Amino acid sequence: MQNNVLILDFGSQYTQLIARRVRELNIFCEIKPYNHLPEDLSEYKAVILSGSTFSVRSDEALHPDLSNIKGQIPLLGVCYGAQYLAHFHGGNVAPSNTREYGRARLSSIKENEPFFDKIDVGSQVWMSHSDTIKELPPQAELLASTHDVENAAFKIGNEKTYGIQFHPEVYHTKDGKQLLENFLVHIAGLAQTWTPDAFVETTVAELKKEIGNDKVILGLSGGVDSTVAAVLLHKAIGKHLHCIFVNNGLLRKNEFTEVLDQYKHMGLNVKGVDASARFLDALAGEEDPEKKRKIIGGIFIDVFDDEAHLVEDAKWLAQGTIYPDRIESVSASGGPSATIKSHHNVGGLPDYMKLNIVEPLKMLFKDEVRRVGVTLGIEDERLGRHPFPGPGLAIRILGDITREKVAILQEVDAIFINGLREWGLYDKVWQAGAMLLPVHSVGVMGDERTYEKCVALRAVESTDGMTADWVNLPYEFLQKTSNDIINKVPGVNRVVYDISSKPPATIEWE
């Protein structure tokens, strides 16, 4: 890659948002843990230090090796990163009298300062810290203040080293994108060349070089990620790609046959494998969500191992893994951020499976995958499909998995999703689904008392799944959907709607 930005992760909940904002500027960036810097820094044209839950004043302060960065590569410290640059280079960081959290406004900005070009006094910023910078380092120059935070932004000497106490990556900082553009484009001199067309051209060339004439097996799911990965690989290696769509028994209603039919017209070599009994039998009696994920991931590997033996000389297993999968599973590439959940398609292969892994989308966010799909000429209907979890309905059935529960949830989900389409709401929602809860509730149907299952409906709006807000669906739609579910799905007598956002919740319930 050309014109890379390196983001060092200190465990901030906002680190991934920094990457998203940088990518929005058509600049490629990578997140690395603060204590695992790349050996070769020559490919990076700028470095950003993230925030952190730690304090620079504590014995547990996180210490990056900036010896080959500070003063040599344009450097921006955000929150903890700014405090680190101040505290360990001659300044002073101390506890704030009050926790400085939430909206603030810039009360002063240094005149004719390129870092704040096109940003005016009064611009809203977002603070989230309990320490504050009391004194700047020697040779540091104050660039901006707020009413409560004097040293809100500064520059160190003649270096292209900057620190900001606020978070430019969050939505609440109104000119955050402009500030990042000022630093990356106008100060660091990066070119804004990270585009879908450039990604396709570069990735196809890399795949051709890496794979050559080897045969590749790809697990299709019917979703956006695996579809784009398949078309990208097909563009690179053509007939050497062998796609497999596995029915794990946990798909949506009629999805196995419908997806196979949709792929017929895309020129891909696709084989359908019905392994539903194999998955459902292995999941019987298991309630723990992480164990369910691992069981499903293990069987997927076994199924693909079986199919690989049927493809002579297959040497690669391709996966539609994207960047948020890797971040949530491996804690920002191994950094201090908390792991949220494991993903069945993230990680290595067992020793007995003699296939190499290729993940052409592993550095893309979801919205970037869709833009690449447009460049590849994939039809809107496929690219607009809601994300669906790899483990399928297994993580939307809380508790143990049975064939009866799967059948119930498939019917509920079909009513909900089809209803969104009929009401013209599907494309206004980023992801939607139904959860089967491990509780029974009392109800009255006709003149009889019932004691049946409860389902929760979930619909969120998001850009890439890293954060999400619940969608305020019309009451009339929810009322009709609830009535349809209770009247048409035996065993369900109560429907609730989930109004939790991410964070603090996650999109899926398990």
What is the C-alpha to C-alpha distance for residues 161 and 49, in angstroms, rounded to an integer?
11
Of 38, 56, 50, give the one whose Cα is nearest residue 8.
50
Give the separation between CA 456 and CA 497, rounded to whole angstroms: 5
CA distance 168 to 237: 41
Backbone angles phi, psi at 254, to 5 degrees: 65, 10
Q: Which long-range contacts (CB under 8 A, 24 or more apart) does 36-40 make?
A: 36/333, 36/334, 36/335, 37/6, 37/8, 37/64, 37/65, 38/6
Q: What is the dihedral of CA 440, 502, 458, 362, to 10 degrees?
A: -120
In the annotation, is 328 catalytic?
Answer: no
Continuous segment of H or E residues that includes residue 301: helix 289-310
Integer CA distances (angstroms), 392 to 223, 250, 408, in order: 11, 5, 14
Is 79 a known active-site residue?
yes
User: Of the residues 29, 79, 100, 234, which is catalytic?
Assistant: 79
- Is-catalytic flag, 169? yes
Structure tokens at 33: 């843990």
- Residue count (the chain): 510
- Catalytic choice (89, 129, 167, 343): 167
CA-closest candidate to residue 44, choices 96, 3, 105, 102: 3
Distance CA 184, CA 501 (A): 31
Catalytic-labelled residue, pool 100, 169, 411, 510: 169
8 Å CB contact between 243 and 230: yes
Catalytic residues: 79, 167, 169
